[in-house]
């Protein structure tokens, strides 16, 4: 067996101001809250390089159980930068993309919860309908509906 084999991607981490609001938004998309905890102490700061820290986290899981979002709210140290309103061509974290069954229905549901379309819903060939939205706290979220496979 190859010792350097990648096993999986565990999760994508997103720092938020309100865990409750972020959990509710991602539940509306269809993720499920898998667990919630506080991570603190010097050991955690050795991983992040922040020193002693206290962070509330919530792990959200997709319906298939294969993908997760780790939502984090830093109590200490406080957050020092905000990239949420960066345009889509900015360096670094861009967006998380979710596959959905009915993109129009999902956009309609999410806009009732304050989300806004970044551009418009567009069709790529006969394959996908796609869009970007700004969701809870201005987070950039992609939605994709695969066409022809129902």
User: pLDDT tens digits for 28-64?
Assistant: 999 999 999 999 888 888 888 888 889 999 999 999 9
* Residue 58 and residue 36 in contact, taking contact as beta carbons nearer than 8 Å: yes
Q: Is residue 1 part of a domain?
A: no
**Phi, psi values for residue 118, rounded to 5°:** -80, -45
* Residue 92 and residue 79 in contact, taking contact as beta carbons nearer than 8 Å: no
Q: Is residue 2 part of a domain?
A: no
Q: Is residue 89 part of a domain?
A: no
Same-domain pairing of 62 and 103: no
The whole domain housing 130 covers: 96-146
Same-domain pairing of 27 and 68: yes
How high is the pLDDT of residue 90? 83
How high is the pLDDT of residue 109? 95
End-to-end CA distance of the chain: 38
CATH classification of the domain holding 123: 3.10.180.10
C-alpha distances out from residue 84 to 14, 26, 36, 54, 75, Å: 10, 16, 23, 22, 19
Mean pLDDT value of segment 76-105: 87
pLDDT of 86 above 90: no
How high is the pLDDT of residue 49? 86
pLDDT of 2 above 70: no
Domain count, the chain: 2
Q: Is residue 62 part of a domain?
A: yes
DSSP 147: S
pLDDT more than 70, % of the chain: 97
How high is the pLDDT of residue 150? 55
Q: Model's pTM, two decimal places?
A: 0.88
**Cβ of 26: how many Cβ atoms within 10 Å?**
25
- Condensed to tens digits (0 to 9), the pLDDT of residues 100-126 reads 999 999 999 999 989 999 999 999 999
State the Cα–Cα distance between residues 15 and 117, nearest whole angstrom: 21
Mean pLDDT value of segment 71-97: 86
């Amino acid at each position: 067996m190859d010792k350097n084999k990648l096993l999986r991607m565990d999760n994508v981490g997103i720092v938020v101001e309100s865990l409750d609001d972020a959990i509710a938004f991602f539940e509306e998309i269809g993720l499920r809250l898998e667990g919630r905890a506080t991570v603190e102490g010097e050991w955690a700061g050795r991983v992040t390089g922040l020193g002693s820290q206290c962070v509330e986290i919530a792990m959200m899981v997709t319906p298939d159980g294969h993908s997760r979002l780790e939502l984090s709210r830093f109590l200490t140290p406080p957050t020092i930068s905000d990239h949420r309103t960066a345009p889509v061509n900015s360096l670094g974290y861009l967006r998380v993309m979710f596959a959905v069954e009915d993109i129009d229905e999902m956009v309609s549901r999410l806009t009732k919860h304050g989300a806004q379309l970044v551009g418009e819903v567009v069709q790529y060939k006969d394959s996908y309908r796609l869009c970007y939205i700004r969701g809870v706290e201005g987070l950039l979220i992609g939605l994709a509906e695969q066409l022809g496979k129902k």
